[in-house]
Structure 1
Amino acid sequence: MLVHICCSVDSHYFLQKLQAEYPEEKLTGFFYDPNIHPYSEYYLRLLDVKRSCKMLGIDLIEGEYDVENWLEAVRGLEHEPEKGTRCSICFDRRFEVSAQKASQMGESTFTSTLLTSPKKSLKQLQVAGDALAEREGISFIAPDYRKASGTQEQNILAKEDALYRQDYCGCMFGLNIQRDQQEKLADELFVPLSKQIQPESIEERIQMYEKRWEMEEANIPHKIIKQRFLNWRLMMGQLRIRKEVVPAHFLPYSTLKKEYTRGKIEYHIGEIHHMNRDEVRFITLDHYNDLSNSNYKTVTELIFSPPAFSKEVELRTKLGVTPYDLSIILVVKQIPTNKIEILCQSKVYSDVKEVLITI
């Protein structure tokens, strides 16, 4: 039996139920989810599915990440709600490829872990699965493992085995709609030009879950815990001196009360130069290099290849900045002496992150 897999939380429980109900069947997992955005999120979910299948002794096949065809299939349906027309097409697309894969492999049956997702319509999924199975000359099974407290059992199992629990279905359209309703920033879609890994980003989670895999392989006791913290994202920052844009690096947690300010350097204390408005501070690239033990030749080089986020937070501390200070700190080649204009679109917000610890 070929089992289309959407994510580890759904598949881990679903596959174990199938193993119990169909003990004579050889189950093969098929991870095919071109709807998942961004690719880093796709990779993270695949990583956890691989771990789940390894734990259950199930072979896994990865389908093609043909995101362009998926986007074309749902064109014009970007604002459809969850369980709407876009979702129907998404199911059809994934089921069609899964049914074709099952037929190519000589399997007589296929199913999908989407059936156990509480966010999906069981009837909607069964109609799509049956139609595509008939076309391929195979059968589609749609067991209801949600009933009899199945969803609760699924959640308990996911927690016991420390599975990665994503908090959105998968596609960018559903994510944006969900975050708008929650009045939250869709920071999953933020990737800095510098490629610096941001706190509680998908890229940071990938690092953690890859490290977790290594610790499991080495039998190192560990635990994933959650912590609440103040997160930050910079959407855009610009420094202009006499209307000319000048390279400037914004240190983490730099914010403005409004998005724009202007002024001039009023005084300095040691190597830190203070603007006369909005608590803005400047340091030179040379001072940055001294504090961070780095050797950046230009500010542009720093902008596009900064050190780790945590290292720059430590640097703020070395500048005498308290943990609660959200003032802008700009790194420039030379301290400006003329009129300064700053545009800073950033956001600070309460967030929760997972942390891997050794026990």
Structure 2
Amino acid sequence: MTNFPEIKKSTNKINYYQQSLDEIEKIKLTKQRPSLLLHACCAPCAAFPLEFLNNVFNCTILYNNSNIYPSDEYYRRLNELKRYLDEFNQVATNKIKLVEVNYDNELYTKKLEPLKDYPEGSIRCFTCYSLRMEEAYNYASNNHFDYFTTVMTISRQKDSQKLNEIGSKLQSHYPTVKYFYSDFKKKKGIDRARELSKQHNLYRQQYCGCIYSYQKYIEKKV
């Protein structure tokens, strides 16, 4: 798939949080534990979604975040996620697996470079979501997962409506894997995420990830 979803901000608000609850109830009625591939960008964003999902699904995390610049930051976030999963798996009944995708920021940045002058939260970010979610969805399809979703709807800085629209469009290209609609920040999910971050002393990054968000972060510090 090469065509990205529409890049305009969403205007029709859908209650994706309620959709997630409805889907979970349907799954519970089957008395089955479907497999779910969860795209995760960092430990703080993954903590609450895992708590929300892990009693219903057999979860595997995919860490495919070549957008992150510089490499030291990429590996800091990856290692922090590994540390958190080690702690999580010590007490969890259902253990979480982690899959890492090769890191190639140079190639990834070339894909975003034509959009470098767009502001945060617009077309460049939507394209970045699409690139990573498509790569993850493709992995889910090739490895026969039942469901796919992303932790990114936990963030107040990210458009959950747009993320779910992207997921819905991707599902049409990978029909054997069902997209799990979410808005993890809702109903105090964001507060619980902060509690878990504090409890586990998780590193919380100061910018989203790409070189352009990093440059903005540095400008603000000066």
Does the TM-score normalized on the shorter chain lie above 0.5? yes
Which moves more between the two structures, 85-94 or 141-150? 141-150
The SS at the match of 2:54 is helix
Determine if contact 2:164/2:182 at 8 Å carries over to the other structure.
no
Q: Does 1:152 align with 2:184?
A: no
Q: Does 1:179 align with 2:211?
A: no
TM-score (structure 1 length as normaliser):
0.49
Q: Which has the higher helix share?
A: 2
Determine if contact 1:73/1:89 at 8 Å carries over to the other structure.
no
1:176-230 Cα distance to aligned partner (Å, 9 max, x none): 12332x2x14xxxxxxxxxxxxxxxxxxxxxxxxxxxxxxxxxxxxxxxxxxxxx
**Following the alignment from structure 1 to structure 2, what is the Cα–Cα distance between the partners of residues 34 and 115?**
19
How big is the shift at 1:52?
A: 1.5
Q: Does 1:129 align with 2:144?
A: no
Where structure 1 has 5 or more consecutive residues not aligned to the other structure, the ranges are 186-359
Aligned equivalent of 2:141: 103
1:75-109 Cα distance to aligned partner (Å, 9 max, x none): 22112211111101100100110001001111121
Determine if contact 1:16/1:56 at 8 Å carries over to the other structure.
no
RCO (CA 8 Å, sep 6+): is it higher in 1 or 2? Answer: 2
Aligned equivalent of 2:155: 117
How big is the shift at 1:7?
A: 0.5
**Following the alignment from structure 2 to structure 1, what is the Cα–Cα distance between the partners of residues 157 and 53?**
20
Superposed structure 1 runs of 4+ greater than 3 Å apart: none
Determine if contact 1:9/1:163 at 8 Å carries over to the other structure.
yes
The letter for the 1-side match of 2:114 is G
Q: Which has the higher strand share?
A: 1
**Following the alignment from structure 1 to structure 2, what is the Cα–Cα distance between the partners of residues 96 and 145?**
20
Aligned equivalent of 1:62: 100
Aligned equivalent of 1:6: 41
**Following the alignment from structure 1 to structure 2, what is the Cα–Cα distance between the partners of residues 177 and 142?**
31
**Alignment length (residue pairs):** 180
The SS at the match of 1:44 is helix
**Following the alignment from structure 2 to structure 1, what is the Cα–Cα distance between the partners of residues 113 and 37?**
29
Determine if contact 1:10/1:154 at 8 Å carries over to the other structure.
yes
RMSD: 1.3
Q: Identity over the aligned pairs, expressed in percent?
A: 30
- Give 1:37's match in structure 2, choosing from 51, 60, 69: 69
1:206-257 Cα distance to aligned partner (Å, 9 max, x none): xxxxxxxxxxxxxxxxxxxxxxxxxxxxxxxxxxxxxxxxxxxxxxxxxxxx
TM-score (structure 2 length as normaliser):
0.77
- Give 2:60's match in structure 1, choosing from 28, 31, 36: 28
**Following the alignment from structure 2 to structure 1, what is the Cα–Cα distance between the partners of residues 134 and 182?**
19
Highest CA radius of gyration, 1 or 2? 1
Aligned equivalent of 1:86: 124
**Following the alignment from structure 1 to structure 2, what is the Cα–Cα distance between the partners of residues 55 and 34?**
25
The letter for the 2-side match of 1:113 is V
